[in-house]
Amino acid sequence: APADPSFEARLAVRSKVDQVIAQRSLVTDAGKFSQKSYDYVIVGAGTAGLALAARLSENGKHSVGVLEAGPTGFNDPIIDIPGQFGADLGTKYDYNYTTDANSQTGVTPKGWPRGHVVGGSSALNFLVVDAASEAEYNAWEELGNKGWNWESMDKYMKKSETFTTPSQEDQGKLNIEVNPDNYGSNGPIQVTFPDYISKQVQNWIPALESLGIPRNNEPLGGKNTGASVQPSDINLANHTRSYSAPAYFYPNSARNNLALLANARVDKINWTPLSKVRSWLHKLGVKQRATGVNFTSGGKSYTVKAKREVIISGGAVNSPQILELSGVGNPSILKQAGIQPVIQNNNVGENLQDHTYSYAAYELQPGNPTLDSLRWNTTFAAEQKALYQQNKVSILGETVPSIAYITLRTLLGESKANQYVETAKSYVQSQSNKAYASTLNKQLEFLQKYPDTLSQMELIGIDGFFAGAGAPENNKNYVTFLSASQHLLARGSVHIKSKSAGAAPSIQPNYYNNDFDLNLAVQGLQYLRNKVSKTQQYSSYITKEVVPGSNYTTDAQLKDFLKGMGTTTEYHPIGSVSMLPQNKGGVVDANLRVYQTENVRVVDASIMPVHISAHIMRTTYGIAEKAADLILGA
């Protein structure tokens, strides 16, 4: 979408004030930034990085310097306008990563967008705010991470947000009764329900109820199974995206003890000069100490010092990359890239987990506007833009609220679900020699212990053509249904291929390397086609299926579809710097400290040891909020 000058004009009042404030902490001179030393140097001004920076600098006692590889996206409409979600993919704000092809599974390379901007992936994402079930957070504690449980994560997720309850009228249209106790009331991220409520959204809960999926009014209350609509991170004051930059950074940027340098890529952590001696002595408990980091800005190299700690918040792809570039990882991978090992830990970059989704897209009868209409109906687009500019209800305020989490039993019926559990069991057993085997056992426990309460599949409804295959036609509107597997058994990896921080690492998610994952994805897609789209609520205005379409009918054909165009990442990579005991696949301990270091932590989505059935931004804010307390308490 092109930049929208009138939108910028509408924000001009806010921007003048904020820009003046922002200038104080937003450093543009890399030389000046590097001359100072900071108590905490944070690598990555993303979702977690900015939340952490705001909290660590809050009491005024500590100096915090943040380095961000990407530019600022301040006031850019393609980030700020909720209904433009997805428009910033493939732009300068996106790393545009691609996964490696997989000759064993036949799965083709997939695009892996990641935020390369102040705000990180919270600036790029689809604004869904949600949470997994209690048992999934408790699993982190049960895997050896004391204090990482539902109770604590619920507290910290709430700390990150302020919820605005929708009007009774909107709750009626959405078919929900909101319980504000499920949300925070005093945090920086503004959370509410989008006030543009389409026909597809109004139909969502009744349609799924007609399929026997019970309605869940409190999906963020620790039990997320059921049909629900979910809130988004929207600031209703101006209907803009409330992501980590406007929520955690700009309002705090007048702080003298907080500095952020954008367009500055960290190349590696620097260790004390005696790092070699320390690494010989590590068996005696001697640890490595970071002195700061090297970074590149405007083509020049700089060094900045950290007095207390270096904290890596580069996200699930770049955090393991930065560790490896700094000599932390599997020595054979490091040496191949020309990096001298400093700390041996073969778990770095392993245990990578993701969610995948597939899609079924349907053409609608004329007269049902969706986000597609903005593309081809200039009258509608102008009308909606005018409404948006007046801060009124507009399709430009629409996001993705139609979400349901379902169990294997709901998806497949009890007896087929039991067969799937057996398939999962034999695969998990075959992986018992893997470092992260305990996380796979935890997933098996999810299936066996919570067959009726722990979600395995997410269903999503979106207004518009959002399939990764095929293309929308002009003058047509669509709805797209997505089915997203939440607990893949596949484990992938992220590793450096080069000693240059600018080179993309190798990403291999190993999608569909086992029957459970592939068959489940087929069943998810069939459920959208045979059940969701056939409900009276949707079939009454759907004219035809356009994706996958009539060439893909049998399960075998759908497997081909899924291995090719039919699968997309749900953009939720985790686990590549897992918080686990080291002998169970861990890179960081329960204080998020990198093993064998005194003062290096990782704080971002990469530390989640086993996946959750949720979009992960809110959980990532929760991790950062908790980390701030751990660090300040240390």
Ligand X SMILES: Cc1cc2nc3c(=O)[nH]c(=O)nc-3n(C[C@H](O)[C@H](O)[C@H](O)COP(=O)(O)OP(=O)(O)OC[C@H]3O[C@@H](n4cnc5c(N)ncnc54)[C@H](O)[C@@H]3O)c2cc1C
Q: Would the annotation count 235 as a binding residue?
A: no
**Smallest separation (angstroms) from ligand X to the CB of 31:** 17
CB nearer ligand X, residue 114 or residue 559: 114
CB nearer ligand X, residue 278 or residue 611: 611
Give the CA distances from residue 260 to residues 173, 252, 599, in Å, rounded to whole numbers and listed in that order.
Answer: 43, 11, 21
Element (H, E) at 470: none
CB nearer ligand X, residue 547 or residue 617: 617
Q: Would the annotation count 125 as a binding residue?
A: yes
CB nearer ligand X, residue 49 or residue 279: 49
With CB atoms as reference, the residue minimizing the distance to ligand X is 46
**Smallest separation (angstroms) from ligand X to the CB of 591:** 18
CB nearer ligand X, residue 514 or residue 619: 619
CB nearer ligand X, residue 115 or residue 472: 115
Q: Would the annotation count 441 as a binding residue?
A: no
d(CA 376, CA 474) in angstroms, rounded, equals 6
Give residue 243's Cα distance to chain centre: 12
AA letter at 341 = P
d(CA 55, CA 249) in angstroms, rounded, equals 10
Q: Which residue shows structure tokens 């989008």?
A: 194
Q: Which is nearest to 353 in space by CA: 144, 153, 96, 609? A: 609
Q: Would the annotation count 310 as a binding residue?
A: no
| The token pair that represents 259 in the structure block | 């500095």
User: Where would I find the beta strands (DSSP E) of 75-231?
Assistant: 97-98, 111-112, 161-163, 189-191, 226-229
Q: Would the annotation count 294 as a binding residue?
A: no
**Smallest separation (angstroms) from ligand X to the CB of 323:** 11
d(CA 341, CA 520) in angstroms, rounded, equals 40
What DSSP string describes 533-554? GGSHHHHTTEEEEEES-TT--S
Q: Would the annotation count 163 as a binding residue?
A: no
d(CA 326, CA 630) in angstroms, rounded, equals 24
Contacts 24+ apart (CB under 8 A), 14-18: 14/238, 15/74, 15/75, 18/74, 18/246, 18/250, 18/251
**Smallest separation (angstroms) from ligand X to the CB of 189:** 11
**Residues tagged active-site:** 572, 615
Contact partners, residue 46, CB within 8 Å, separation at least 6: 68, 115, 119, 120, 121, 122, 244, 313, 314, 315, 604
Q: Which residues bind ligand X (CB under 6 A)?
A: 43-49, 67-70, 89, 113-116, 120-122, 124-128, 265-266, 313-316, 318, 322, 501, 571-572, 604-605, 615-618, 620
Q: Which residues are annotated as a binding site?
A: 117, 125-128, 266
Q: Which residues are annotated as a binding site for FAD?
A: 117, 125-128, 266
